[in-house]
Chain A
Amino acid sequence: MYCINCNNKVDEKWKYCIKCGKSLINDNSTIDEIKVEEIKDKEKKDTILYISLFFIGLGGLIFLDNFKGIFFLLSLVSIVTGYVKYPKNKIIKIIFWIFVILFILFIIFAVVAIIACIRELPNCTNIG
């Protein structure tokens, strides 16, 4: 049997999980090994799916000229979905936070670029 809270192996006779302290008295507090394997398998498949969609979106955003907005939204939705569903997954967590940092840097760049009056940005001489 496994604790539903922390996946630690527990004995049927125990009243509390020795790792996280969760009460095991309720019928819904433990899950058997097969279920744990199913959950881990699902998580693995979902991780591959979300990361793939994220990189497809990112690739489209960088390399294609059209529909940049749609590719950006694909990246955003896939990585946020992965992070919300599996916040403890290390790979998704790393990619998510890199995405957040890049997003923040993009916003800051938009402000700094206008300060520097970079030519590529239209209307920059109209600011101020």
Chain B
Amino acid sequence: MFNIKFPFYSLAILISLISNVIIVLLLSKKYAYPKNEIIGLLLYENVGIIVGAKVFWFIENYNLNHTFNFFSLGLSSYGAVIGAILSIILFSIQFKKSFRELLNIYMPSIPLMYSIGKIGCFLVGCCYGIEYDGIFKVTYNYSTSAPKNISLFPIQILESIVFFLIFIYMIKKHIKNQFDLGLVMCGSAKFLLDFLRFSHKNIILSTNQLVSIVFIIVGVILFFKYKRNSVKN
């Protein structure tokens, strides 16, 4: 009716960044962290998320696009996570803070951000699922990413629900090794759900799944290392 193209995806990204700020500020009260450090790190983290998402997308799609024009690049979810973690590492080294403690504050909001981002993906039709003709099927007639008039599995909604549940679990449990658990849970969920994506056709393992495996391995190693250190102490 109005012929306006509404940027649902950008809006979802904006909402996910805002939710990250809110969750981190609420969690930081629990740890009684100085406010100036939390805000400084939030700035680092959000820049890390955006830069990481863009750079990782560029690397993943290098075959299709050789020009690094920052504003025209897409966003990669794993790039965003890697960017966030690297910015937290940089902050902890620069100001001599406990990396693990900082990650315990910042980790729980990551699955929430991903969950909200996936809603944006669903609304614009990117990261779409396999061909599917059952209940809750989705057919895109307007998307420039998804194939038109083909019934698809709503994988974006399923990912959004699963990651939201992971977020709820991490907030409720709030255990000491949030980061290790977060890496394993998010990595496992992403690995399994990726089989239901259209882009997974005719390939054994996608780039996302390979990164998921790395995350799971790192999470498991850190978990046992933390457990061994706790026993020693």
Chain A interface (Cβ < 8 Å from any Cβ of B): 69, 73, 76-77, 80-81, 83-84, 87, 99-100, 103, 107-108, 110-111, 114-115, 117, 121-123, 125-128
Contact = CB atoms under 8 A, between A and B. Distances in A.
A80 B5 contact: no
A81 B94 contact: yes
A84 B5 contact: no
A121 B7 contact: no
A40 B146 CA distance: 61
A109 to B, nearest CB: 11
Contacts of A69: 51, 70
Interface string B194-227: 0000000000000000000000000000000000
A99 B39 CA distance: 12
Interface string B93-105: 0110000000000
Nearest first, the 6 closest Cβ-Cβ pairs linking A and B are A128-B5, A87-B36, A122-B72, A114-B7, A80-B40, A84-B40
Contact of A114 (B10, B35, B39, B94): B10
Nearest to A86: B36
Contacts of B10: 110-111, 114, 127
B43 A128 contact: no
B142 interface: yes
Given A83-B36, A87-B36, A111 B6 contact: no
A123 B57 CA distance: 15
B39 A83 contact: yes
B124 A128 contact: yes
A128 B40 contact: no
Contacts of B51: 69
A115 B5 CA distance: 7
B144 interface: yes
B11 interface: yes
A117 B5 CA distance: 8
Nearest to B74: A123
Interface string B51-76: 10000000000000000011110000
Contacts of B14: 107-108, 111
A100 B47 CA distance: 11
Given A114-B10, A125-B5, A127-B10, A76 B43 contact: yes
Given A114-B7, A128-B142, 15 more contacts: A73-B47, A76-B44, A76-B47, A77-B94, A83-B40, A87-B36, A99-B43, A107-B17, A108-B14, A110-B71, A111-B10, A115-B7, A121-B71, A125-B5, A127-B124
